[in-house]
Amino acid sequence: MVTIIAVVGSSNTDMVIQAEHLPVAGETILGGHFFMNPGGKGANQAVAAARLGGHIIFIAKTGNDIFGKQSVQLFNDEGIDTTYLVSDPVNPSGVALITVDKNAENCIVVASGANATLSKNDIAPAKAVIEQSGIVLMQLEIPIETVCYVAEIAYAKGVQIVLNPAPACHLPEGLLKKISILTPNRREAEMLTGVKLRNMESAKLAAEKIKGLGPETVIITLGHKGALVLHDNSFTHVPGFLVKAIDTTAAGDIFNGALVVALSEGKSVVESTRFACKAAAISVMKLGAQSSAPFKLEIDSFEFHAMENSIGWENVE
Ligand code: RIB
């Protein structure tokens, strides 16, 4: 039987400029190449999962404008079920301004627009579909009340809930207790726990603290150092892979999309994390958000080399 993955989250259009370095406050810099690219953490995760063979229903809200219409067309082209996409008659589609520097790092400012109005009422028509899903995947670029509402629906029916807590914000205790797998990155893990992640020991401490807040399983993504999994009371460090990164935008989104596909295929949490690390590694070799999401064949045909464990913790995001 096919496992349906319901992705609930944001959709943006990304306006990206590459530059030598990220500007500091008050600074104007002359950048290089500019491009527009579909983005938004929810949409990126939905597209990544669809490209890797997942059966995806994407629940989101776009504006009744050219960006919104383009996004819906793109989701349909990717084979994503858009039945429960809502068009906001008032607010514009989400837009993100992104700068990417020569070290592949980025800074992002999001104008949420319609994403910020995705409400319980918008979700209600999709209730039965959420209940019938095998996995629900969410992030935090939509209102937290909506995330909690979806979690309630899914939890009541025993649907596995994967929450990528990005961008970081205060998470209600009741929500965390319903989460099957929480996937913070280093910064988000630090914000959730107050523990500075400087090495694997501190990462383990943070993972334990997060687990104490409610989620059954914790996967802390560690950029080029891979991911730390805390599952069934045991830690596994899944190493990152050696690649030439040019743009890390959406690497976390690609990770989450790939993770849920592997889980939906019955792979173990650790195996799914390994697959997700591979997908994320491929994505950082390409520019953009959804444009960097790999297809299954790219992962299968790439020769992966695990990153040395001795590589330091600088720039781990
Ligand atoms: O995670 C990357 C994404 O964050 C971008 O695509 C941007 O739209 C913001 O949502």
pLDDT digits (tens, 9 = 90+) for 10-45: 999 999 999 999 999 999 999 998 999 999 999 999
Which pLDDT does position 316 carry in this prediction? Answer: 62
Which pLDDT does position 43 carry in this prediction? Answer: 98
Supply angle C-alpha 44, 45, 50, rounded to 5: 100
Please, are residues 258 and 296 in contact by the beta-carbon 8 Å criterion? no
Q: Which residues pair with 58 in a beta bridge?
A: 7
Mean of pLDDT over the chain: 95
The reply to whether ligand 1 has any atom less than 6 angstroms from the CB of 165 is no
The reply to whether ligand 1 has any atom less than 6 angstroms from the CB of 44 is yes
Which pLDDT does position 260 carry in this prediction? Answer: 98
* Domain ranges for the chain: 4-311
Segment (H or E) for 8: strand 4-8
Residue given tokens 């993955």 in the structure block: 5
Low-confidence ranges of the chain (pLDDT < 50): none
157 C-alpha to ligand 1 centroid (Å):
30
Which pLDDT does position 313 carry in this prediction? Answer: 61
- What CA–CA distance (Å, rounded) separates 87 from 68? 8
Instruction: Report the 10 Å Cβ neighbour count for 155.
Output: 18
- What CA–CA distance (Å, rounded) separates 288 from 47? 13
Which pLDDT does position 317 carry in this prediction? Answer: 63
Q: Which CATH architecture has domain 4-311?
A: 3-Layer(aba) Sandwich (3.40)
Which pLDDT does position 305 carry in this prediction? Answer: 87
Catalytic residues: 253
Q: What is the pTM of this model?
A: 0.96
Q: Which residues pair with 121 in a beta bridge?
A: none
